Amino acid sequence: MIKNVAIIGAGAMGSGIAQVAAQNGCKVKIYDTYKQALTKSQANLAKTLEKLVNKGKFTNEQAQSITNNIRYIDDIHNINDADLVIEAIIENLDIKKKAFQEIEKIVRSECILASNTSSLSITSLAAACSQPERVIGIHFFNPAPIMKLVEIIPAVQTDKGIVELSKSTIDTWGKETVLAKDTPAFIVNRVARPFYSEAIRIYEEGIASPAMIDWAMTEIGGFRMGPFTLMDFIGHDVNFAVTESVFKAYYYDDRYKPSFTQKRLVEAGYLGRKSGKGFYDYGEDSSEQEFNKDKKQGEKIVERIVVMLINEAADALFWNIATKEDIDTAMTKGVNYPKGLLKWADEWGMDVCESILDDLFDEYRETRYRCSPLIRKMQRKGLTFYPKRK
């Protein structure tokens, strides 16, 4: 039973995870080396809880209980009673390794050591520890109190009992957990790459403007947010860094190649909403980009981006990164896609998916457009990812 939780890092993600644990009755300690980070985290939680009380989501008593369940500490030795430690610091493997080695000397031997990394190797983190079998990835999505999905990533060394306890604990916190193999970017951040990269590619080719592509993906495709609006929201420094790290981690596979267009935005300091300019201008005098709402062209845009997403999801299943159910759950709950990509593939048919991908490959002769072997195999055998409805 997990009762005492320690969070390493008082940033937005660490603070959000702490709130989730505290809401579910755990005693939580948030540690950070910077006292101002702890002060900011405490103030932000108070504001958040006040808003939730005003909206009727919590009673005053519940909000007070959550507040009472969290302690803010600047001495890491105070985490010695933790049953579970979740690290939520900078995405740097060497820094995380040092943190784990320090934590390991303080906590009990039964304590689970988890990382909230979105893409780094859990196996490498575990290898830095004297008890690698208790290390696991527990990846929340931002904002943690709102987003339902959590990826559970066992390292090669992780004990099965640790996997089961970690998963069941996060399930009791009201989250939907999916199991992912310890491969770069796990499920969501791997499968979602074409949503950004193929959209940029279409723009770079001069086929359509960011505004038109966003319109097509939301109005025709059913996505909550278009790729360019989403990249501006995330921040191009963050989005480009993830793409670049995935590209390197997959041995420079052409499928994950970063874009010079986005690189130039980062170099210019046009980071999106937070800087006032990205693909769109967010200044007071800015005006909306005009474009022709050509439905046929919009459908072709959606077809091209979605088929690349389907292909990536199929490849994740082909390489046993996760089950088909977990892949589809990850994309609908983690990034709010309108439907599971493998279910989408079934609706289109394997022959249609294969044909679109082969047409793209014939046109460009780039390995980024190679069709997943699983789609080809299923097309030959007339199979679907899910049983056909009678």
Looking at every residue in the chain, the average pLDDT score rounds to: 96
For 241-297, what is each residue's pLDDT tens digit? Answer: 999 999 999 999 999 999 999 999 999 999 999 999 999 999 887 778 888 899 999
What confidence tens digit (pLDDT) does each residue in 323-363 have? Answer: 999 999 999 999 999 999 999 999 999 999 999 999 999 99
Q: Does residue 389 have a pLDDT over 80?
A: no
pLDDT at 388: 83
Helices 350-364, 295-318: inter-axial angle, 10-degree rounding: 100
pLDDT in tens, 13-29: 999 999 999 999 999 99
What is the predicted pLDDT for the residue at 390?
Answer: 66
Res 226: pLDDT: 98
For residue 119, the tally of other CB atoms under 10 A from its CB is 19
Look at the pTM and tell me if it is higher than 0.85: yes
- Are 350 and 317 within 8 A, CB to CB? no
- Residue-range domains of the chain with CATH: 4-182 (3.40.50.720), 190-390 (1.10.1040.50)
**Active-site positions?**
118, 139, 151, 189
Please report which confidence band the pLDDT of residue 235 belongs to, taking 50, 70 and 90 as the band edges: very high
Residues 177-206 pLDDT 10s: 999 999 999 999 999 999 999 999 999 999
Whether 72 shows a pLDDT value over 90: the answer reads yes
Where does the pLDDT of residue 146 fall: very low under 50, low under 70, confident under 90, or very high at 90 and above? very high
Angle (deg, nearest 10), helices 350-364 and 341-348: 90
In whole angstroms, how far apart are CA 233 and each of 88, 275, 276, 326, 332?
21, 10, 11, 26, 19
Beta-carbon count within 10 A of 59 CB = 11
- Cβ neighbours of residue 362 closer than 8 Å, sequence gap 6 or more: none
Of 150, 145, 147, nearest to 116 by C-alpha is 150
Residue 231 has pLDDT above 80, yes or no: yes
Tally of CB atoms within 10 A around 140: 24
Find the mean pLDDT for residues 132-155.
Answer: 97
User: How far is it, in rounded angstroms, from Cα 345 to Cα 314?
Assistant: 9
Instruction: Name the band, by pLDDT with cuts 50, 70 and 90, for residue 41.
Output: very high
For 48-68, the pLDDT digits (tens) are 999 999 999 999 999 999 999
